[in-house]
Structure 1
Amino acid sequence: MGPYTAVLLAGSRPGGDPLSRSLGVDFKPLLPVAGEPMVLRPLRALLAAASVGEVLVLTQETERLAAVLPSDARVRIERSGATLAATLTGLLAAPATRFPLLVTTADHALLTPAMVEEFVVGAAGSDLAIGVVSRTAMLRRFPDAQRTWLRFGRERYSGANLFALNTPAAAAGVERWRSIEQDRKKGWRVLLQMGWPLFLGAVLRVRDIHGTAAAFGRRLGLGLSAVVMGDPLAAIDVDKPADHELVTAILEGRA
């Protein structure tokens, strides 16, 4: 498999972002984190990762974002759709799109090249892979961490905002996600929309996360895998005031 095209989703949700408004910023990717626009941090990590060939930045406000991005031939910027899933659907439908794709978000301010490489290794062999962090790993380092957790087997997991779309078959998984995106913060609803057998398997702790991913992938006709990240920082994005405070403290060496 050749180098990944990294897709950096750098837009705002419809209706704006409460965190950005609370900090006096009207466009979330430009939110200051440890002295610079947030979007620059994951962008640097992607450019430094050996498995990434180029970075496509997708945003609703191309001119504003272009003004802060570095001048690098590997970086290009294009206009995005209104939501994450709609943006990916449009990208996957474009004839010029080349696989594999690595997708992450502008609020992944703690992303590192090492995380990218770990995820890519774990995603090998699947059509679609999703990065997650276990609750055990997170609470071991940050006992007070508040995340959205989904239970699979004996463990709970939170998303790491890392997605590998290795083949065109991944489009089926993205399209399915469009139907459940509005419930992404309500774990039981997400599980229920996967279908009753998978829902009950997760609730009754019969299937672990790998078995659930494989079974859901079979329903969609693709190879779906979950990559459990070793570093719990992979699951910390900047979505709430407490996240912003924690990420800033981590980057400044205070946490």
Structure 2
Amino acid sequence: MTSPLPAAVTAILLAGARPIPDPLAQAAGVAVKPLVPVGGEPMINRPARALLDHPAIGQVVILTQRADLFAADPATAWLADHPRVRFEKGGQGIASSLLALLEGGDVPFPILMTTADHVLLDRAMLDQFVAEASGADVAVAMVERATLLARYPQSRRTWLKFRDGWWSGANIFWFGSDKAGAIVSLWQEVEQDRKKGWKILAAFGPFALLGALLRILTLRSGMARIGRKFGLVARLVAMDSPEACIDADKPEDVMLIEAILQR
């Protein structure tokens, strides 16, 4: 059973740059990846519009190292002028940037965080995620492999295996209260190993690691156990839409996204 929709959710849109040059940005001749054209416009525009058009979203905070680039580009200048959008300075890591933002005290909970390369983000995804995440201190959107491959068998993702399937992140996160700070702090510690699933699991304790390796944990029960460890409510949101875990990370992703947009 889901909780009533909150009146105003703060959305954080990650639009930063990695320390090393991004291949998509280099190929497109733009300074940062969020400005890479996808479907005829900079990729950041579509998730930004999806957030601003959703009735549960209040303000949109764009976290980036180079706000000036978006204001200077005619295709994204509308973001700098929008009354419900503000830019905040990001650092080199997502978790450290988020912690700094939360410690500033002027970003109200609940918070929904997503990424500028989540080009296919839409109303249906946000409806499901906000409804199912509401009431949790922390929630993470994931897509089960069968859901994705049933429609897009050619798509390649990073998967974590549990007893209830193979799961991939959908780049949508929920921070429902200040209790989430403990999880974000841990995230900061393992951020450099985000593609190495066993290291992330190990950070939550040996039971979580062994549970995944021996397949004695479902992802849902694992999330609940992690929540209890930190004294909070942690929840998995298993997304219905396979498009929820397709982001614009590689050239083949962009080709797939543009084909979906054309349909």
Task: Give the TM interval when normalised to the shorter protein.
Answer: over 0.9
Counterpart for residue 45 of structure 1:
50
> What is the RMSD of the two structures over their aligned residues, measured on CA atoms?
1.3
Amino acid at match of 2:19: P
Equivalent-residue separation in structure 1 for 2:228 and 2:67 (angstroms): 38
- 5+ residue gaps in structure 1? none
Is contact 1:8–1:58 with CA below 8 Å preserved after alignment? yes
> Is 1:24 the equivalent of 2:24?
no
Give the length in aligned residue pairs: 253
Measure the CA separation in 1 of the matches of 2:104 and 2:21: 27
Write the distance in 1 (CA, Å) between the matches of 2:251 and 2:198. Answer: 25
Asked if residue 78 in structure 1 is aligned to residue 88 in structure 2, the reply is: yes
For 1:166 and 1:154, how far apart are their aligned partners in 2? 26
The CA deviation at 1:193 is: 2.4
**1:189 maps onto 2:194 in alignment:** no
Output the CA distance in 1 between the equivalents of 2:227 and 2:169. Answer: 17
Aligned pair 1:241/2:251, yes or no? Answer: yes
The TM-score, its normalising length taken from structure 1, stands at 0.95
- The correspondence of residues 81-230 of structure 1 with structure 2, limited to 5 A, is 81-230=91-240
- Determine which of 61, 66, 70 is the counterpart of 1:56: 61
In structure 1, distance between residues paired with 2:28 and 2:257: 15
- What is the CA deviation profile of residues 35-73 of structure 1, one whole-angstrom value per residue up to 9, with x for unaligned ones? 101110100000111110111111111111123142321
Relative to structure 1, the CA distance from residue 242 to residue 226 in structure 2 (aligned partners, 3 Å threshold; closer, same or farther) is: same
Q: Which amino acid counterpart does residue 27 of structure 1 have in structure 2?
A: V
* TM-score where L is the length of structure 2: 0.92
- Would the aligned equivalents of 1:103 and 1:163 in 2 still touch at CA under 8 Å? yes
CA apart distance, 1:86: 1.2
Q: Distance in 2 between matches of 1:188 and 1:96?
A: 35
Separation in 2, partners of 1:183, 1:190: 7
Residues of 1 paired with 2:22 and 2:226: CA distance?
32
Change (3 A) 1:99 1:154: closer
Q: Secondary structure at the match of 2:140?
A: strand
Letter in 1 for 2:96: A
Whether the 8 Å CA contact 1:5–1:101 is kept in 2: the answer is: yes
CA deviation profile, 1:171-228 (whole Å, cap 9, x unmatched): 1111111111111112222222222111111122211111000111122222111111
Q: Is the 8 A contact 2:47 2:122 kept in 1?
A: yes
* Residue-by-residue CA offset, 1:139-177 (whole Å, 9 max, x unaligned): 101112110001121301100110111100011111111
CA contact (8 A) 1:40 1:69 kept: no
Task: State the secondary structure of the residue aligned to 1:117.
Answer: helix
SS of corresponding position for 1:16: coil
Rounded to whole Å, the distance in 2 between the matches of 1:87 and 1:66 is 21
Instruction: After the TM superposition, list the runs of 4 or more consecutive aligned residues in structure 1 that deviate by more than 3 angstroms.
Output: none
One-letter amino acid of the structure 1 residue matched with residue 249 of structure 2: D
What is the percentage of aligned positions where both structures have the same residue? 45
Higher mean C-alpha deviation, range 6-15 or range 189-198: 189-198
8 Å Cα contact 1:66/1:77 also seen in 2? no
How many Å apart are 1:135 and its aligned residue? 0.4
**Residues 4-19 of structure 1 correspond to what in structure 2 (within 5 A)?**
4-19=9-24
SS in 2 for 1:244: helix
